[in-house]
Amino acid sequence: MSKAVNSIVVAGGGSAGWLTAGLVAAEHQANQASGLNVILVESPDVSPIGVGEGTWPTMRRSLQKMGVSETDFLRACDASFKQGTCFSGWQHGAEEFYYHPFTPPQAFNETNLARFWQPLRERVTFADAVSPQARVCESALAPKQITTPEYASNINYGYHLDAGKFAQFLRKHCVEKLGVKHILDNITTVNTDTDGDIQSLNTQSGRRIEGDLFVDCTGFSALLIGKHYDIPFISKQHILFNDRALAVQVQRESADEAIASSTHSTAQNAGWVWDIGLPARRGVGYTYSSAHSSDEQAEIELRSYLKRTAGVAVSESCSPRQLKFNPGHREKLWHRNCVAIGLSGGFVEPLEASALVMIELSAKMLSEQLPANRSIMDVVAKRFNEKFLYHWHRIIEFLKLHYVLSLRDDSDYWRDNRREHSIPESLRESLELWRYQCPWHMDLPHVDELFSSASYQYVLYGMGFKSEGPGGRQSDLVARARVENLFNDNASRTRQLLEGLPSNRELITKVHKFGFQKI
Ligand X SMILES: Cc1cc2nc3c(=O)[nH]c(=O)nc-3n(C[C@H](O)[C@H](O)[C@H](O)COP(=O)(O)OP(=O)(O)OC[C@H]3O[C@@H](n4cnc5c(N)ncnc54)[C@H](O)[C@@H]3O)c2cc1C
Helices (H), 161-217: 163-176
Nearest to 216 by CA among 19, 12, 41, 370: 12
* 392 Rama sector, left if φ>0, alpha if ψ -120 to 50, beta otherwise: alpha
Is the Cα dihedral 426, 431, 432, 434 positive or negative? positive
CB of 352 to ligand X, least distance (A): 9
**3-class DSSP state for residue 291?**
coil
36, 114, 170, 187: which one binds ligand X (CB under 6 A): 187
Q: How far apart are CA 248 and CA 284, in angstroms?
A: 5
Task: Examine residue 285 and tell whether it contacts ligand X (CB under 6 A).
Answer: yes
d(CA 370, CA 364): 10
Q: Give the nearest distance from C-beta 435 to ligand X in angstroms.
A: 32
Question: Looking at 222, 224, 343, 450, which residue binds ligand X (CB under 6 A)?
Answer: 343
Residues 225 to 244: which contact ligand X by CB under 6 A? none
Q: How many residues does the chain have?
A: 519
Residues 67-86 that bind ligand X (CB under 6 A): none
Q: Which of 249, 282, 274, 248 is nearest to 504 (CA)?
A: 282
Is residue 221 at the binding interface for ligand X, with CB under 6 A as the rule?
yes
158 binding ligand X? (CB under 6 A)? no
Residue 508 CB contacts under 8 Å (≥ 6 apart), including other chains: 74, 80, 81, 142, 259, 279
Q: Give yes or no for residue 9 binding ligand X (CB under 6 A).
A: no
Q: Least CB distance from residue 221 to ligand X, whole Å?
A: 5
Closest separation between CB of residue 249 and ligand X, Å? 13
Nearest approach, Cβ of 109 to ligand X (angstroms)?
27
Total residues contacting ligand X by CB under 6 A comes to 36
Kindly identify the residues of this chain, within the stretch 241-260, that bind ligand X according to CB under 6 A: 245, 247
- 327 lies in the binding site for ligand X (CB under 6 A): no
Nearer to ligand X, 20 or 490 (CB): 20
CB 322 within 8 A of CB 246: yes
Measured CA to CA, the distance from residue 346 to residue 333 in angstroms comes to 9
Q: List the interface residues with ligand X, window 10-69 (CB under 6 A).
A: 11-17, 41-43, 46, 48-49, 51-54
Q: Assess contact for 78 and 278: CB atoms under 8 A.
A: yes
**x-or-dash pattern for ligand X, window 291-320, by CB under 6 A?**
------------------------------
What is the contact surface with ligand X in residues (CB under 6 A)? 11-17, 41-43, 46, 48-49, 51-54, 163, 186-187, 217-219, 221, 223, 245, 247, 285, 323, 325, 342-343, 350, 353, 355-356
